[in-house]
């Protein structure tokens, strides 16, 4: 059962804004959730096969996908970033490993500005490339980071490892503007669950698999703590998590299967996607419209539009994808071809014909899937 929890929690990632309450999602939106019977009833779905060339191979080592400026930026194997246009055509790559000017030894994380500049975090160093992949700036920072998120042209956020605090806001010269979440043990926490900035909602950091989120207030250069969902749903918060770890260890949710946890959060515009549940009762995936106070539940009973693949397989990689106009995920071509061999069809005939022509699906780049809520 713990494997189910890990799977669901890894399937999502990021969200929202400061509001005048102790939670972000309105209570009635969750309480009145509608069952999603077919994904096509909820989403407009677009499939984008990524062009497979010798210089554009991704394999199974995708690290992060950013959709911005009509292009897809995809990190691979913590070494390079491949750029594709909206149709999936390969454009160029950033592969600057080394110790010289404009080079990095390890691609810890990256993000893309509104102007199309690509910003790479290499532990204690930040390198900025123009929209064509040429280095335009490089500077050191006084902390060791493993997550990066662009706020605006003047500021960015870094999630740190082994430092006094976990969250740092810095300017484009590497100077610290603010910091939060005092890290008493100065331990390396690994990649967190949600770490992203979206234009309408602001920046959000989720503490582990809890209902506690740190939201960055750009006007004050400070962090505010909030709950994502109504506290009456009894999802564990940051204080509960620390107490449970002290008492039962880091795997307390396995020892106490009724503990209700919150999976990572993904978001675009006013829509949020997240999972809630426990190992004893199972998990439900919610999609909420935070303006109209509507929400839907995706479960094993929801029908998928990709052959017989379950909705959870379809959504499995949402946590690695960031976009401000749709949910993005991806899936391996050999999984899709296997569905065709079983006699299942896709949403449109051209896509079916495309995959039927592939001779070695295991060698193809993955297919991006864009999911946009129907109006």
Q: Is the pLDDT of residue 339 over 70?
A: yes
Query: Quick one: average pLDDT of 65-93?
Result: 94
The pLDDT score that the predictor gives to residue 21 is 58
**213: closest CA among 241, 232, 185?**
241
The pLDDT score that the predictor gives to residue 244 is 92
Q: Is the pLDDT of residue 41 over 50?
A: yes
Residue 371 near residue 326, CB atoms below 8 Å: yes
Length of the chain: 375
Range of the domain at 218: 2-373
Residue 30 near residue 24, CB atoms below 8 Å: no
The residues near 129 (Cβ < 8 Å, ≥ 6 apart) are 94, 102, 117, 118, 119, 120, 135, 136
Across the beta sheet with 135-140, what order do the strands follow? 109-112, 118-122, 125-129, 135-140
Degrees to nearest 5, angle at CA 297 with 2 and 375: 140
The pLDDT score that the predictor gives to residue 359 is 82
The pLDDT score that the predictor gives to residue 7 is 44
The pLDDT score that the predictor gives to residue 328 is 94
How far is it, in rounded angstroms, from Cα 259 to Cα 151? 34
DSSP code at position 304 = P
Binned at pLDDT 50, 70 and 90, residue 345 comes out as low
Helix (H/G/I), strand (E/B), else coil: 42: helix
The pLDDT score that the predictor gives to residue 311 is 85
Query: Quick one: average pLDDT of 170-189?
Result: 78
Q: Is the pLDDT of residue 11 over 50?
A: no
The tens digit of pLDDT for each residue in 84-95 reads 999 999 999 998
Query: Quick one: average pLDDT of 329-354?
Result: 76
Binned at pLDDT 50, 70 and 90, residue 13 comes out as very low
Helix (H/G/I), strand (E/B), else coil: 350: helix
Q: How many domains does the chain have?
A: 1
Q: Is the pLDDT of residue 4 over 60?
A: no
Q: Is the pLDDT of residue 201 over 80?
A: no
How far is it, in rounded angstroms, from Cα 355 to Cα 338? 10
Q: Is the pLDDT of residue 327 over 90?
A: yes
Query: Among 21-30, 222-231, 254-263, 283-292, which range has the highest average pLDDT?
Result: 254-263
The pLDDT score that the predictor gives to residue 73 is 97
Query: Quick one: average pLDDT of 10-21?
Result: 43
The pLDDT score that the predictor gives to residue 70 is 93
Which segments of the chain does DSSP mark as H helices, in order? 2-10, 27-31, 39-42, 238-248, 252-255, 311-314, 333-341, 349-356
Backbone phi and psi for residue 339, each to the nearest 5 degrees, phi listed first:
-65, -40
How far is it, in rounded angstroms, from Cα 68 to Cα 111? 10
The pLDDT score that the predictor gives to residue 54 is 92
Q: Is the pLDDT of residue 108 over 50?
A: yes
Per the structure block, which two tokens stand in for 266? 């993904």
Binned at pLDDT 50, 70 and 90, residue 252 comes out as very high
**364: closest CA among 351, 355, 372?**
355
Query: Quick one: average pLDDT of 230-245?
Result: 90
Binned at pLDDT 50, 70 and 90, residue 372 comes out as very high
Q: Is the pLDDT of residue 136 over 70?
A: yes
How far is it, in rounded angstroms, from Cα 249 to Cα 28? 35
The pLDDT score that the predictor gives to residue 269 is 85
CATH of the domain at 91: 2.130.10
Q: What is the mean pLDDT of the chain?
A: 83
* 163 against 204, higher pLDDT: 163
Query: Quick one: average pLDDT of 319-348?
Result: 82
């Amino acid at each position: 059962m713990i494997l189910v929890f890990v799977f669901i929690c890894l399937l999502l990632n990021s969200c929202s804004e400061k509001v005048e309450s102790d939670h972000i999602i309105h209570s009635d939106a969750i309480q009145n959730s509608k069952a999603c019977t077919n994904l096509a009833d909820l989403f407009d779905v677009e499939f984008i096969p990524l062009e497979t060339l010798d210089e554009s191979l991704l394999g199974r080592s995708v690290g992060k996908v950013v959709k911005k400026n009509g292009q897809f930026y995809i990190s691979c194997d913590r070494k390079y970033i491949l750029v594709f246009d909206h149709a999936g055509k390969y454009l160029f790559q950033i592969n600057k490993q080394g110790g010289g000017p404009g080079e990095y030894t390890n691609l810890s994380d990256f993000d893309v500005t509104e102007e199309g500049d690509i910003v790479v975090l290499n532990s204690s160093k930040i390198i900025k490339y123009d929209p064509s992949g040429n280095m335009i700036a490089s500077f050191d920072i006084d902390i060791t980071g493993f997550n990066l998120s662009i706020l605006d042209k003047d500021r960015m956020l870094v999630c740190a490892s082994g430092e006094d605090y976990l969250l740092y806001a810095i300017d484009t010269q590497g100077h610290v503007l603010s910091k939060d979440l005092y890290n008493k043990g100065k331990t390396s926490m690994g990649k967190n669950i949600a770490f992203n900035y979206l234009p309408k909602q602001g920046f959000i950091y989720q503490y582990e698999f809890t209902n506690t989120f740190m939201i960055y207030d750009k006007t004050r250069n400070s962090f505010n703590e909030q709950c994502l969902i109504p506290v009456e749903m009894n999802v564990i918060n940051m204080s509960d998590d620390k107490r449970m770890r002290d008492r039962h260890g880091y795997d307390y949710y396995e020892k106490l299967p009724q503990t209700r946890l919150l999976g990572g959060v993904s978001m675009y515009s006013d829509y949020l996607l997240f999972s809630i549940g426990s190992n004893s009762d199972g998990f439900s995936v919610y999609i909420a419209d935070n303006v109209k106070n509507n929400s839907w539940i995706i479960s094993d009973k929801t029908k998928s539009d990709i052959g017989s693949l379950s909705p959870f397989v379809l959504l499995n990689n949402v946590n690695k994808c960031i976009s401000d106009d749709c949910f993005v995920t991806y899936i391996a071509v050999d999984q899709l071809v296997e569905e065709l061999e079983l006699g299942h069809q896709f949403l449109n005939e051209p896509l079916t014909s495309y995959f039927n022509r592939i001779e070695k699906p295991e060698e193809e780049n993955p297919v991006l899937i864009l999911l946009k809520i129907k109006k």
